[in-house]
Amino acid sequence: MKKITVFAAAAIVAAGLAQIANAADAQPFQLTLPTGFGTFASKAQTAKDQNGKDIQITNWISKSPTSEAIVVTVTKMWAKIANPNLQMASMRDAVIKSVPNATLDSQQKLDGSTPAMTFDFHSGTAVFLRAKLMVKGDSMYQLLYVGRTPDERANPSVESMFQSFVINAPQASAATAPVAPTAPTSVAPTTSH
């Protein structure tokens, strides 16, 4: 396994994933990729929330020769996220709804100083996913694993990767009032590799 530092979390923008360029910007969190996964590539964009405020979204993706993929996304809001648990639940629901025939297999709220949760879900018998959401300050971080079988998703190297996912740089706090939870503007994990 190789150790990689990346910056990311929340919304996965399917339309842009195929056109992602090599990452050259700061990457202030760490992640240990399973053996065989390629170097991360990234894409950044700005979207609007339901109130017309700018949201900065950065995605990183790494693929393996076995058609597995890892996507890391950061969604930086215009102010501190007021209710992290509600925001994570909203994002979880949006991600699951964006995958055709998705079924939630499990979810777990994680203890720690940074609000976090993990959940597993699948789409029929062809796509098996695991996600981790974390909120810190004005940003939501999402780690998403996409595999083709339950055995791939259950591989110990995938669990080790999720355990290694750490935000290691403090986020600059926004100067305005906290952001109330909003529905994500676009979350559609890609299932073609």
Q: What is the pLDDT of residue 103?
A: 93
**Residue 56 is which amino acid?**
Q
How confident is the model at residue 114, as a pLDDT?
86
pLDDT at 169: 61
Mean pLDDT along residues 113-129: 92
Averaged pLDDT, 102-129:
92
**How do residues 5-55 score in pLDDT, each as one tens digit?**
222 222 333 223 333 333 334 555 688 999 999 988 889 999 998 889 999
Mean pLDDT of 128-140: 93
pLDDT classification of 2: cutoffs 50, 70, 90: very low
Q: Is the pLDDT of residue 147 over 70?
A: yes
Contact predicate 72/9, CB 8 Å = yes
- Structurally, what CATH architecture does the domain formed by 2-167 represent? 3-Layer(aba) Sandwich (3.40)
Checking phi first, is residue 59 left (phi over 0); if not, alpha (psi -120 to 50) or beta?
beta
pLDDT tier at 185, thresholds 50, 70, 90:
very low
pLDDT at 28: 56
Residue 137 pLDDT greater than 60, yes or no: yes
124: left (phi over 0), alpha (psi -120 to 50) or beta: left
Query: Which residues 6+ apart lie within 8 Å of 143 measured at CB?
Result: 8, 9, 31, 70, 71, 72, 131, 132, 161, 162, 165
